[in-house]
Amino acid sequence: MRTIRIALFSALALSAFVLGSPAAGAVNVADCQAAIAQLQADTNAGQFTNSKDQTMLAGKAQAAADKLDVNKPNDALRKLEDYSAKLDALAAATKPKVSAESYATLHNDVTAAMSCVEALLAAT
| Sequence spans of domains, the chain | 2-122
Q: What band does 26 get if pLDDT is binned at 50, 70 and 90?
A: confident
pLDDT tens digits, residue range 52-84?
999 999 999 999 999 999 999 999 999 999 999
What is the pTM (predicted TM-score) of this model?
0.80
8-state DSSP, 121: H
Looking at the predicted structure, is the pLDDT value of residue 9 above 90?
no
Dihedral angle sign, alpha carbons of residues 121, 86, 58, 75: negative
Residue 18 has pLDDT above 90, yes or no: no
pLDDT digits (tens, 9 = 90+) for 72-116: 999 999 999 999 999 999 999 999 999 999 999 999 999 999 999
